[in-house]
Amino acid sequence: MDQHLLRQAAGAKKNRKRVGRGNASGHGTTATRGHKGQLKRGSVRPGFEGGQIPMVRRLPHLRGFKNFARIEFQAINLELLADRFPAGAVVNGDTLFNARLLESPNQPFKVLARGELAHALTVQAPRLSEGAKAAITAAGGSFEETAPADRTPRNRIHRRKAEGTN
């Protein structure tokens, strides 16, 4: 087959409708827009509902700022550790997950000082409260904070001041 013999199927190519080219064309005068009315005179913005309160304004508003980078820590209290773990046990994300206190071994958690700790434990946690640290050492245990202790502010102005540039 030669390339110059190729043709499109019948009806595949259609001329566009040329409106507003006089009454003899059949699409003159109103140019297929009808008589009077809002759409004849111009276009309306997207979402316009003809003067009715738009859906965007009918819905309730969520005010304020939601920090997308926030890390939500699971709270683990000392009283829970005292009940679930024997003396000398190592408490970390894996052991808490096995004890069904966390949904995932990698889930961030913070040990809080609620309750009393009667026996020594070795606690490895991303975050510990000051009261929890004191209670663990008082019971003869040890702790290790696995997350970085000081976080630099994310605000650009604070970051520049910390770096020493203005």
CATH code where residue 124 lies: 3.100.10.10
pLDDT mean over 115-123: 94
Would 34 be classed as within a structural domain? no
pLDDT, greater one: 93 or 154: 93
* Structure tokens belonging to residue 50: 């003809």
pLDDT of residue 165: 59
Would 80 be classed as within a structural domain? yes
Query: CA-to-CA distance for 85 and 11, rounded, in angstroms?
Result: 79
Would 87 be classed as within a structural domain? yes
Please tell me what DSSP assigns to residue 124.
Answer: E
Would 92 be classed as within a structural domain? yes
Instruction: State the pTM of this model.
Output: 0.55
Query: CA-to-CA distance for 113 and 134, rounded, in angstroms?
Result: 9
pLDDT of residue 115: 93
Would 94 be classed as within a structural domain? yes
Would 134 be classed as within a structural domain? yes
* Structure tokens belonging to residue 62: 């969520």
How would residue 166 be classed by pLDDT, with cut points 50, 70 and 90? low
Would 138 be classed as within a structural domain? yes
* Structure tokens belonging to residue 8: 């499109």
135-156 pLDDT, tens per residue? 999 999 999 998 765 555 555 5
Count: domains in the chain: 1
The percentage of the chain sitting over the pLDDT mark of 70, rounded to a whole number, equals: 89
Residue with tokens 């030669």: 2
Would 139 be classed as within a structural domain? yes
Domain that holds residue 122: 74-145
Strands annotated E in the chain: 74-77, 90-91, 109-112, 122-125, 127-128, 142-145
31-55 pLDDT, tens per residue? 999 999 888 888 899 889 988 999 9
pLDDT higher than threshold 70 for residue 122: yes
